[in-house]
């Protein structure tokens, strides 16, 4: 399908001088001269052209990303950059990757905010169709904070960090009124909940092996990117990760019956975070000891119409922190299909 990707397209790097001038004005590392761009897009293009199954529009991203943006295809431009990142992680060294991040920052901070003359780049309908087809079967979610934020500027979609933080924030229960707890900390220790969520997220286990195999998981903090691919014409995506050693792994999900299967999803939203030991048992264990700040907040939240402006001095903040730390450390967390997580919860309730 992508035999043309093995050919040398040698598309001109458009806006090359603009990018290099911006780079020299904004980045501590300098090019060898004001117009030297070989370490950036050109070096990556030469690398990717020798790899099988890399389409020409990915290798020549410095041409096709601006072309897509000028056609109003922000989502496709962002997805194309994410795919390039994934392949550069696997095939290239950190120096080229660093330059690539600078290019993404340039696109996000400079290119899309200015009216640009598009006469130097053209995107045929035939090529646009091929790009859409390719990006319909491949989707990359980047964990690197800065790069993910640049891509968010391009198309506005929340990065993976934010999606998983939202998962954690949805742990609200009648006995664990998390949204009210967040409000309490906003008025007293505004950065505490950000760190609490980050600590949980960083230690999430991503299972990468079938049962009975050793070293069967990688922690989220050691993952560079998630990659979703439709294989062999399937409607669903298979899920893989790229770890910090630049190796790819198939992702597995725990099942409600205690087994495992390869993770298959329709979208990233199908993946959730599972408590290996149920949240209900953890929180109720704290409450049963008596005089719990979490229980106090839950009662206020369910009975006081003024809970939106809860008074912090009603709560012992240091004691609340101890309870929240206990919840955080009482179990490990694992990525799991949302559907299997719902089945598991129903099994616990029944």
* SS3 letters across 103-140: HHHHHHHCHHHCCCCCCCCCCCHHHHHHHHHHHHHEEE
Q: Is the domain of 134 the same as that of 223? A: no
Q: What is the pLDDT of residue 348?
A: 54
Q: Is the domain of 191 the same as that of 321? A: yes
User: Which residue, 132, 155, 178, sits at the end of a domain?
Assistant: 155
The pTM for the full model equals 0.87
CB-based burial label for 313 (10 Å; 0-12, 13-18, 19+) = exposed
Q: Is the domain of 175 the same as that of 203? A: yes
State mean pLDDT over 190-208: 95
| Max CA pair span of the chain | 71
Q: Is the domain of 102 the same as that of 213? A: no
The mean pLDDT value of the chain amounts to: 86
Q: Is the domain of 58 the same as that of 137? A: yes
Q: What is the pLDDT of residue 57?
A: 92
| 46 or 175: which leads in pLDDT | 175
Q: How far apart are CA 153 and CA 168, in angstroms?
A: 24
Q: Which residues contact 74 (CB under 8 A, 6 or more apart)?
A: 68, 112, 154, 155, 156
Q: Is the domain of 202 the same as that of 341? A: yes
- pLDDT (tens digit, 9 = 90+) per residue, 310-344? 666 788 999 999 999 999 999 999 999 999 988 88
User: Which residue, 127, 155, 183, sits at the end of a domain?
Assistant: 155
> At residue 308, does pLDDT exceed 60?
no
Q: How far apart are CA 96 and CA 316, in angstroms?
A: 50
Q: Is the domain of 298 the same as that of 165? A: yes
Q: Is the domain of 173 the same as that of 74? A: no
Is 180 in contact with 301 (CB distance < 8 Å)? yes
CB-based burial label for 139 (10 Å; 0-12, 13-18, 19+) = buried
Q: What is the pLDDT of residue 59?
A: 86
The boundaries of the domain holding residue 139 are 3-155
Domain count, the chain: 2
Q: What is the pLDDT of residue 95?
A: 65
Q: Is the domain of 263 the same as that of 328? A: yes
Q: Is the domain of 147 the same as that of 166? A: no
Percentage above 90 pLDDT, the chain? 57
User: Which residue, 155, 179, 195, sits at the end of a domain?
Assistant: 155
């Amino acid at each position: 399908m992508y035999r043309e990707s093995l050919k040398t397209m040698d598309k001109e790097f458009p806006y090359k001088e603009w990018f290099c001038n911006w780079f020299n004005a904004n980045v501590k590392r300098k090019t060898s001269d004001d117009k030297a761009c070989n370490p950036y897009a050109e070096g990556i293009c030469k690398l990717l052209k020798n790899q099988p199954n890399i389409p020409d529009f990915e290798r020549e991203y410095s041409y096709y990303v601006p072309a897509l943006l000028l056609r109003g295809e922000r989502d496709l431009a962002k997805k194309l950059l994410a795919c390039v990142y994934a392949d550069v992680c696997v095939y290239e060294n950190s120096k080229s990757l660093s330059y690539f991040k600078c290019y993404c920052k340039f696109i996000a901070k400079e290119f899309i905010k200015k009216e640009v003359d598009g006469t130097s780049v053209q995107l045929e309908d035939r090529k646009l169709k091929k790009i859409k087809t390719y990006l319909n079967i491949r989707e990359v979610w980047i964990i690197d904070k800065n790069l993910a934020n640049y891509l968010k500027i391009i198309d506005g979609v929340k990065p993976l960090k934010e999606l998983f933080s939202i998962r954690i924030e949805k742990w609200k229960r009648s006995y664990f009124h998390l949204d009210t707890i967040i409000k309490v900390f906003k008025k007293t220790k505004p950065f505490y909940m950000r760190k609490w969520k980050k600590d949980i997220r960083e230690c999430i286990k991503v299972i990468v092996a079938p049962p009975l195999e050793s070293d069967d998981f990688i922690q989220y903090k050691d993952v560079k990117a998630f990659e979703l691919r439709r294989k062999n014409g399937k409607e669903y995506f298979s899920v893989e990760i790229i770890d910090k050693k630049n190796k790819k792994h198939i992702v597995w999900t725990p099942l409600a019956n205690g087994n495992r299967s390869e993770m298959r999803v329709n979208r990233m939203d199908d993946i959730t975070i599972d408590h290996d030991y149920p949240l209900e048992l953890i929180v109720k264990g704290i409450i049963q000891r008596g005089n719990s700040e979490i229980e106090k907040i839950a009662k206020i939240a369910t009975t006081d119409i003024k809970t939106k402006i809860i008074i912090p001095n009603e709560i012992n903040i240091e004691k609340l922190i101890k309870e929240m730390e206990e919840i955080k450390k009482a179990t490990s967390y694992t990525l799991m299909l949302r559907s299997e997580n719902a089945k598991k919860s129903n099994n616990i309730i029944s």
